[in-house]
Amino acid sequence: MRVPFIDLAAQQAEIAQEVLPVWEMLLTTAGFIGGEQVDGFEREYADFIGVDYCVGVGNGTDAVELALRAAGVCPGDEVIIPVNTFIATAEAVSRIGAVPVFVDVDVDYLLIDPAAVEDAITARTRAIVPVHLYGQTAPMEELNSIAERYGLEIVEDAAQSQGASCRVGRAGSLGRVAATSFYPGKNLGAAGDAGAVLTNDPEVAKFVRNLGAHGSSIKYVHDRVGINSRLDAVQAPVLRAKLRRLDAWNAARRVAASRYTELLADVPEVRVPLVRPGNEDVWHLYVVQVEERDRVLAELGAAGIGAAIHYPTPLHLTAAYSGLGYRAGEFPVAESAAKRILSLPMFPHLTADLQAVVVAELITATARVTVGAR
Ligand SMILES: *Cc1c(COP(=O)(O)O)cnc(C)c1O
């Protein structure tokens, strides 16, 4: 039996009847840019996260860039980011002409390590980007207190944490401004690329909307050199239909995660993921750790199980960021985790039967490679 890493078709099947009439209307009226579908989604998503403003943009990478620029990040500024994240977090910093400063993650949750953040602060540091990785929030109490002490901005990367919360609130409402991505595979995914910036600050919202529309709030009046990054109208009905189901889908992910954790409880070869105290995890990814990961991954692939790695190369070791002068060994936690992490199939429509297959194959694979390694 094959188990896909993610099943997006099942999501589409649930929403198709709601989306198709709206798409037909948009096609007929040629209402492709802005309009009431986009306005409606922005209002609904702001309410869902618990912020005053949501500005839809073209994708999550643009969202991080626009959020950083709204927080005042300028060329030459340093921005502290975890070394274990999707490269988009760093690209957004680089595109401004600012410098990504990588820090290690903690060993339990693989989230940005506040102690490492504090060590990395210099006179040129402008902002910290906590990435709410794999579906749970970074340690915001500690990070907010560091930011306050040093006069830094917090710009959340909430691309993997739609609906996640911690003691102080929902991911996306925990700093001055937040960015999220609606890439199809995220917990809330569009039918293509899309993203959003979230904030309680009306000036930040206004700035992001202006910057993402060619630096313009009135047609052909250009206040600054902007970019073109807007949420396409055709994405809005998809996002609205999925948003109505997001709490239920996140709950289904939570059930699936507990089931994996239970099934793997007596399997010492597999380290299951932990949830930070006070966190409500939305399980964007279920990431275990195993020895001989590459061989386990290959065995799973051969058995028809869609597993993956998030992420195989810590950012400082990518060719893209080799120019920053970091060395192997500098971020021991992220580097050692990168050799062991393995993301199991995780999506709201994952069934108990499929999970049993995944776990059985994982146990077989780990047993086989440990024997082979001896
Ligand atoms: C997906 C993702 C992004 C960027 O999203 P795109 O919409 O693909 O540009 C940024 N940060 C993280 C952590 C992500 O997972």
Q: What pLDDT, in 10s, does the model give residues 243-300? A: 999 999 999 999 999 999 999 999 999 999 999 999 999 999 999 999 999 999 999 9
Ligand 1 centroid to Cα of residue 116, in Å, is 23
Predicted pLDDT at 34: 95
Q: What pLDDT, in 10s, does the model give residues 76-123? A: 999 999 999 999 999 999 999 999 999 999 999 999 999 999 999 999
What is the residue extent of each domain of the chain?
8-239, 246-373
Cα(266)–Cα(94) distance, integer angstroms: 44
Task: Judge whether 307 and 288 are in contact, CB under 8 Å.
Answer: no
Residues 6 or more apart whose CB falls under 8 angstroms from that of 75 comprise: 96, 97, 98
Predicted pLDDT at 181: 98
Predicted pLDDT at 168: 87
* Atom number, ligand 1, closest to the C-alpha of residue 131: 13
Q: Which two tokens stand for residue 290?
A: 């195993």
Q: Supply the mean pLDDT for the chain.
A: 97
Phi-psi category of 163—alpha, beta or left, where left has phi over 0 and alpha has psi -120 to 50? left
Q: Structure pTM?
A: 0.97
Cα(355)–Cα(284) distance, integer angstroms: 16
Distances in whole angstroms, Cα of residue 104 to Cα of each of 35, 150, 161, 272: 43, 20, 20, 20
Ligand 1 centroid to Cα of residue 353, in Å, is 31
Cα(45)–Cα(139) distance, integer angstroms: 23
Nearest CA to ligand 1 atom 14: 159
Ligand 1 centroid to Cα of residue 325, in Å, is 24
Residues in the ligand 1 pocket, defined by CB under 6 Å? 59-61, 64, 85-86, 88-89, 131, 157, 159-160, 181, 183, 193, 195
CATH 2.30.30.40, applies to 8-239: no
State which of 86, 186, 230 you would mutate to test the pocket of ligand 1, scoring each by most atoms of that ligand within 8 A of its C-beta: 86
- Residue 374, pLDDT above cutoff 90: no
Q: What pLDDT, in 10s, does the model give residues 23-77? A: 999 999 999 999 999 999 999 999 999 999 999 999 999 999 999 999 999 999 9
Predicted pLDDT at 372: 60
Ligand 1 centroid to Cα of residue 261, in Å, is 26
3-state secondary structure of 213: strand
* Atom number, ligand 1, closest to the C-alpha of residue 59: 7
Predicted pLDDT at 369: 87
Nearest CA to ligand 1 atom 10: 88
Ligand 1 centroid to Cα of residue 156, in Å, is 12
State which of 62, 83, 105, 160 you would mutate to test the pocket of ligand 1, scoring each by most atoms of that ligand within 8 A of its C-beta: 160
Q: Which fold has domain 246-373?
A: Aspartate Aminotransferase, domain 1 (3.90.1150)
Nearest CA to ligand 1 atom 2: 159
Q: Which residue has the tokens 């902002």?
A: 127
- Residue 317, pLDDT above cutoff 90: yes
Q: Which residues are catalytic?
A: 186
Ligand 1 centroid to Cα of residue 368, in Å, is 35
- Residue 173, pLDDT above cutoff 60: yes
H or E stretch including 61? helix 60-70
Strand intervals (E) in 37-194? 53-57, 78-82, 99-103, 125-128, 153-157, 165-166, 169-170, 177-181
Nearest CA to ligand 1 atom 4: 60
